[in-house]
Structure 1
Amino acid sequence: MITRRKMMQGAAAVLLASAFAPGAFAATEVAGVKFEDTATVAGQTLKLNGAGQRTKVIFKVYALGLYLPEKKTTAADILASQGARRVQIVSLRDLSSEDFGEAFMKGLNANTDQAERTRLLPQTKTFGEMFASIPGLKKGDVLIVDWVPNVGTQCTLNGKKIGETVPDVAFYNAILRIWIGDNPADSSLKPKLLGGS
């Protein structure tokens, strides 16, 4: 006859074994937000290159994870990366579409020159219309910005597609430079996205 104690020991052993099973630690946590080690974009498996949080003054604004086909440690290598890519943003506070859009434009302008901004103006306008189409981000909302090869930049908010597809890879790279460019939005976030601690 199996005693209650033996049943409990068996259950504990199963739990312990599952805790150390492959994949048990397959998530990176940032400010209470879990980023899985892999993501799939257009049928391609991507790896989490790095993740961190954007802080403004003393406020936690959002957690961000960067997914690439293979790990890279420099901004130049990330921008030259072939294949699909993903930026996953999880809001850590309520943000109006105006605040988020303004921060986006500030980051874009800080990391592009006048000629590039002029060239990317139509795409930037299309992206700006996306911000205008949503009331903002609530705490816990998940905004995903994907680069899909031969298609373009696609955005989803909580799993629902928002905005138009923007076809130019130069525009996606301009978005990435908001966080990994020479003048990143948060200097402490950049090294984390480059795979640092």
Structure 2
Amino acid sequence: MHLSKLLLAGFVAFSFSAAAPAATVELHGVKIEDSVTVGGAKLQLNGVGTRYKGPFKVYVGDLYTTKKVASLDELIAVPGPKRLSMTMLREIEAGPFGKLLTRGVEDNVPKTEMSKLVPGLIRMGDIFTANKVLNPGEVITLDWIPGTGMVVTAKGKVQGEPFKEPEFFKAMMSIWFGPVPADFKLKDALLGIK
């Protein structure tokens, strides 16, 4: 009788531990999962951090990859899907936010390559203009899915057709991971650099 109670207690404890939530980090009230599934592949959290503009917290960013990366080149080279997501911490006008993304690309991509990126940058600008305002708690994800391209999701909805060009995905990622990132501390946090 005593042994069966111990076995039952052990089984119950195991059942609860198996059902425990996978969230490993909470940052400014945003729960960050230790893994996500994108394009049928399980990705691991590479890093998480906060984007500041002056003293203000703008968003929590998190990066997921199939294996740990520590640079833009490693991020682009690692096989399989990738995800960068941003969870807003304050209300932001989406149009100006989209213009900041364009400036981030201009700061990190050689001028000789910019002409090829213009159509994609115009489409990205249109996505942000259409969404008007990003409210606290709303999420933007940039998913790279091999064979599909970069899928942009805002407010839970896929925004238009995927951006198929790998060069455009690299240019977008350069905003966060290039030589002149929007926020050096966020770059290091997303790349897991202490």
| Alignment TM-score, normalising by the size of structure 1 | 0.85
Specify which of 66, 76, 82 is matched with residue 85 of structure 1.
Answer: 82
> One-letter code of the match for 2:107?
A
Give a deviation string over 1:128-180, Cα, whole Å, max 9, x none: 21112111211110111111111111111232111331100111111111111
Moved more, 121-130 or 32-41: 121-130
Unaligned 5+ runs, structure 2: 1-10
Unaligned 5+ runs, structure 1: 1-13
Note if contact 1:127-1:163 (Cα within 8 Å) is conserved in structure 2.
no
Equivalenced residue count is 185
CA 1:19/1:191 → structure 2, altered by over 3 Å: closer, same or farther? farther
Specify which of 58, 73, 98 is matched with residue 55 of structure 2.
Answer: 58
Where do residues 151-170 of structure 1 align in structure 2 (5 Å cutoff)? Answer: 151-170=148-167
Q: CA deviation at 1:23?
A: 5.8
Q: Distance in 1 between matches of 2:16 and 2:57?
A: 30
CA 1:36/1:137 → structure 2, altered by over 3 Å: closer, same or farther? same
Q: Which has the higher helix share?
A: 2
CA 1:23/1:172 → structure 2, altered by over 3 Å: closer, same or farther? farther
Q: Does 1:73 align with 2:65?
A: no
Indicate the RMSD between aligned Cα atoms, in angstroms.
Answer: 2.3
Note if contact 1:126-1:164 (Cα within 8 Å) is conserved in structure 2.
no
Q: Runs of 4+ in structure 1 displaced over 6 angstroms?
A: 16-22
CA 1:48/1:116 → structure 2, altered by over 3 Å: closer, same or farther? same
Give a deviation string over 1:83-115, Cα, whole Å, max 9, x none: 111111100100111221121112111111111
Note if contact 1:179-1:190 (Cα within 8 Å) is conserved in structure 2.
yes
Note if contact 1:69-1:85 (Cα within 8 Å) is conserved in structure 2.
yes
Specify which of 116, 119, 129 is matched with residue 119 of structure 1.
Answer: 116
SS in structure 2 of the partner of residue 46 of structure 1: strand
| Alignment TM-score, normalising by the size of structure 2 | 0.86
SS in structure 2 of the partner of residue 120 of structure 1: helix
Note if contact 1:72-1:78 (Cα within 8 Å) is conserved in structure 2.
yes
